Structure 1
Amino acid sequence: MQSLSTSRRALLGAVLTAAALGAGGCGSPKQAAGDDSSIKVGVVYSQSGPLAGYGAQYAEGFKAGLAYATDNTNKIGDRTIDVSWADDAGDPVKAVSAAKDLIGKGYRVLAGSTSSGVALQVAPLAAENKVLFVSGPAATDAITGANRYTFRSGRQSYQDVLTAKSFLGDGAQVVVFAPDSAFGKSNVDAVKNALHKDVTSIAVPAGATDFTPFASQIKAARPDLVFVAWAGTTAGAMWQALDQQGVLASTKVVTGLDIQASWAGFGPGADKLNLLAHYFDGAVDNPAYQALKAAVPGGRTDLFHPDGFAAAQMIVHALTTSPDDVDKMVTSLEGYGFDSVKGRLTVRADDHALLQPMFQARLSGGKATLTGTITPDAAAPPAAAMKG
């Protein structure tokens, strides 16, 4: 997961391919750019690439959230919200090209960023061009306080770590096992800052497919606790290596609950894991959850659906306040509290952290069970200084 997920968490730069998809009454990019009465919103996310599964959930959630927040009209007053979708394939270079293209066409509102590395490159563009940017599943803590034009609709790594803190107890030595990426480094920093213990890390190259040497490093270190932050399609191979090398049997392992499709990848040791969760289907039940459940294929919500749903709610709120003045949009979101799929969310005014509940879970027989809820205040990351 992009938080472990996380996360948890690049491909070749290429020419931008923009795809017009339906979001309520969404039109094509050409229509959106040419209709002065419409309100244009651009979404740059992982439609393809290693995080495409996360991106698909985010997009489904965004469409459901847009319908929910506009009472199925897809309008602000009498003006239609036209959404254009662009694929960054998880590549920061391609994401920047897409964002610049949209900004050049007059888009004042951007959303997306499935990848932390992408979000870190798009955020400065928001400040430079004075456009509203609502980042998505990207978990890096650096997005919080990045600049006054950048917000987030998902959780950040520090919130994962604070959720894990109750599992970690008083262990003297903690090893963070994570990819060598912006997502992984964010988790390492968050664990060190939150636990104030003897924390070391094992950084795995993002393209690694053989995890046996790294699992052996954990076993040799003999830590009291292992915090695993992982995201992407290699999670199954990683967990198999940790199990085969005896890591799951020899120490306490804490990790994040990734998308449902990955749960089988935990292998036979799944019930030994202590799981923190950004979200999983059934963790909550409220009107927003019911609306999302009714909108997504098969009626089964997943990890990053809430991020897209919340992004649409935030954008509709900002546009309702002022559909054409970005500075007023920004001000309207600072301190904004609203009920969403996960429960009550609040945008912290000082640094734009998104305060939200987090969850604890166990897996048994392929089913996740809620074992605890961490309140937004208890999971709140430390305040970050706004950079610009």
Structure 2
Amino acid sequence: MTVRTTRRAFVTAGLLATALAATACGSPQDTANGDDSAPVKVGLVYSQSGALATYGKQYIEGFKAGLSYATKGSNKVGDRAIEVTEVDDAGDPAKAVSAAKDLIGKGYKILGGSTASGVALQVAPIAAQNKVLFVSGPAATDGVTGINRYTFRSGRQSYQDVLTAKSFIGDATGKKVVVFGQDSAFGKANEAAVQAVIGGAGATVSSVLAPASATDFTPFATQLKAAKPDLLFVAWAGTTAPAMWQTLDQQGVLSSTTVVTGLDIRASWPTFGAAGSKISFLSHYFDGATDNEAAKAAKDAVPGGTLDLFHPDGFAAAQMIVHAIEQGADDVDKMIAGLEGWSFDGVKGKMTVRAEDHALLQPMFQVKLSGSGTDYTAQLVKALTPDECAPPAATMKG
């Protein structure tokens, strides 16, 4: 397991070790006893490697930008430095749990990260058991919302994605919706979400699930076109995506109905090929979706100056953690109380932590791509307000 600390954290740790060896003041108990100069330790457990490493890279870049923004460049709250330790979980829940326990054992009362949904669902109970604050990151699973009072989220959840998809057809009553995905946990999860959200709003929802091993998509395209849906929701992951989109385009599916899918990171846009400009996209975020103070600060701070899908999640996490420290110092209960119901201006716009279940209410976006291949540009069609894509309140479990 790889642990990286900031230069300041390394120096501080070295000085602390020296002080302890000399039996001087500056023990780990200082923070617990209310020392207003001791560093505040924040542990970020996220994907530095593994399948979601690109997402993790955007998260940490956004976090560093947000930390600077929220502290006006000082990386301090009052006289207390915020000491950040980064741990790679490689997207593995077992590694994440081990890292979380290790950090908690070292006195950390604030954890963040969780690029992967499976990780977030395993770390959240650890936070509750040990009564530490946990701000989950890009992990989109709805299960994080309301899982316990110690867990918050800095990104969107799947329900908000599907509500954004629903916005393309307006009133769902009497509408026909087809979900096209892979016959896998991912595909079935999307099928269930669309059934719950759009079906629950009055639409008739059916699905066409292709084997994950499928390479010939013509039979599926024929079936989808014949269904004549008002909305075709596509949930696809993996290397067969370019062939799938090409077939749907060639068979006339994309021109026969409204086809909606999620817009992933910029690096994935070429996978749509010539089909890209014919698809309607729901979007968590893309560069140019907003132009507020936080977005400008993030663009100025992230490497390359271009924002991507998960930069806002890291930025918001830093804003939330700084606010929690300002409100609670070292008292986790006060941190929680300070975050519940808090509204703030993030990269995406106005964000609100819903008090009853810790859902993060936020804008979502309808997007079109123009251009082709590697030269696609995202264009905002509509920004949905936080209320328009707010998930139903969950019951807090603990």
The reply on whether 1:315 has 2:321 as its aligned counterpart is yes
**1:162-173 map, 5 Å:** 162-168=163-169, 170=172, 171-173=175-177
Deviation digits for residues 320-375 of structure 1 (CA, Å, limit 9, x no counterpart): 11221111111110001001101000000000000001111100110011110100
The reply on whether 1:254 has 2:260 as its aligned counterpart is yes
Equivalent position of 2:133 in the other structure = 132
Q: CA deviation at 1:166?
A: 2.1
DSSP-derived class of the 1:308 partner = helix
The reply on whether 1:348 has 2:354 as its aligned counterpart is yes
DSSP-derived class of the 1:83 partner = strand
DSSP-derived class of the 1:163 partner = helix
- Partner of residue 295 from structure 1, selected from 285, 295, 301: 301
- Partner of residue 395 from structure 2, selected from 375, 385, 388: 385
Equivalent position of 1:55 in the other structure = 56
Task: Give unpaired runs (5+ residues) of structure 2.
Answer: 18-25, 29-37
How many residue pairs match? The answer is 367
Deviation digits for residues 168-188 of structure 1 (CA, Å, limit 9, x no counterpart): 45532421525734x655533
Deviation digits for residues 289-309 of structure 1 (CA, Å, limit 9, x no counterpart): 111000111111111000000
The reply on whether 1:174 has 2:178 as its aligned counterpart is yes
Equivalent position of 1:373 in the other structure = 383
Equivalent position of 1:19 in the other structure = 4
TM-score (norm 2): 0.85
Question: Could you say if the C-alpha distance between residues 178 and 333 of structure 1 is closer, same or farther in structure 2, counting changes exceeding 3 Å?
Answer: farther
- Name which one, 1 or 2, has greater alpha-carbon Rg: 2
Structure of greater relative contact order (alpha carbons < 8 Å, 6+ residues apart) = 1
Instruction: Check whether the contact 1:334–1:352 (CA below 8 A) recurs between aligned residues.
Output: yes
The reply on whether 1:220 has 2:223 as its aligned counterpart is yes
Code of the aligned partner of 2:110: V
Q: 2:15 and 2:244 mapped to 1: Cα distance?
A: 44
Q: CA deviation at 1:148?
A: 0.4
Equivalent position of 2:22 in the other structure = none
Q: 2:11 and 2:114 mapped to 1: Cα distance?
A: 21
Instruction: Check whether the contact 1:20–1:29 (CA below 8 A) recurs between aligned residues.
Output: no
Equivalent position of 2:311 in the other structure = 305
Equivalent position of 1:263 in the other structure = 269
Code of the aligned partner of 1:374: L
Deviation digits for residues 99-154 of structure 1 (CA, Å, limit 9, x no counterpart): 11111111111101111111111111111111111010111111111110110000
Q: CA deviation at 1:265?
A: 1.0
**1:1-388 map, 5 Å:** 16-21=1-6, 25-27=8-10, 36=28, 37-168=38-169, 170=172, 171-177=175-181, 180-181=184-185, 186-196=189-199, 197-201=203-207, 208=212, 210-212=213-215, 216-217=219-220, 219-220=222-223, 222-223=226-227, 224=229, 225-230=231-236, 235-236=241-242, 238-240=244-246, 242-243=248-249, 247-249=253-255, 251-365=257-371, 366-388=376-398
Q: 1:199 and 1:98 mapped to 2: Cα distance?
A: 41
Q: 1:31 and 1:39 mapped to 2: Cα distance?
A: 16
Q: 1:84 and 1:235 mapped to 2: Cα distance?
A: 37
Compute the RMSD of aligned alpha carbons. 2.5
Question: Could you say if the C-alpha distance between residues 87 and 217 of structure 1 is closer, same or farther in structure 2, counting changes exceeding 3 Å?
Answer: same
Question: Could you say if the C-alpha distance between residues 364 and 384 of structure 1 is closer, same or farther in structure 2, counting changes exceeding 3 Å?
Answer: same
Q: 1:102 and 1:231 mapped to 2: Cα distance?
A: 33
DSSP-derived class of the 1:53 partner = helix
Task: Give unpaired runs (5+ residues) of structure 1.
Answer: 1-15
DSSP-derived class of the 1:167 partner = coil
Question: Could you say if the C-alpha distance between residues 173 and 378 of structure 1 is closer, same or farther in structure 2, counting changes exceeding 3 Å?
Answer: closer
Identity percentage over the alignment? 63
